Structure 1
């Protein structure tokens, strides 16, 4: 006899990237708890697992800080990622060009990633 939870789940790691202050942590906790929570600037990263009803997939979201000094380290998180969620604060018109450049840098890195 087995239960649904006894089945091994597939793991999927998703990176949440974007400029500092773009709303990554707010989005992470909205997805996790389905409510808006007060957050502070992320120094480093936050990691949360999402419970997905009726799914054999365990989803882990990595919210990685978006400060300029942190962005060069994003590439070290790519190898284990099943996907990237790039968050843009469309209200912050002054930084849209900077966000575009960072997103371009992320996608450029993936294009040159060696295939297995």
Structure 2
């Protein structure tokens, strides 16, 4: 995982961070546009008014989003369980071969 750069062309300001910085830059306009939602979700998590699972469900709507998130969840030992339907109880962030195959098949055939 790499960090987005605060702005293009300012690498000399952070010479030691070069190896961990992405070529992409932070979309400050998007953050400003979504700031109220960011504060709302962060506050709800901090106060215990919402579970992380509920927030993730609202933020990640596609298989591609979940695939992008899986490595982070696995590294941190976190879980992303399916709550209902045929795959109920499945941990999509599990690192076992069966789950990897299932997630890749889901990604190949559908968006949920």
TM class by shorter chain equals: under 0.3
Q: Which structure ranks higher in relative contact order (CA pairs < 8 Å, sequence separation ≥ 6)? A: 1
Bigger fraction of residues in strand: 1
Bigger fraction of residues in helix: 2
TM-score normalised by the chain length of structure 2:
0.27
Max radius of gyration: which structure?
Answer: 2
TM-score normalised by the chain length of structure 1:
0.26
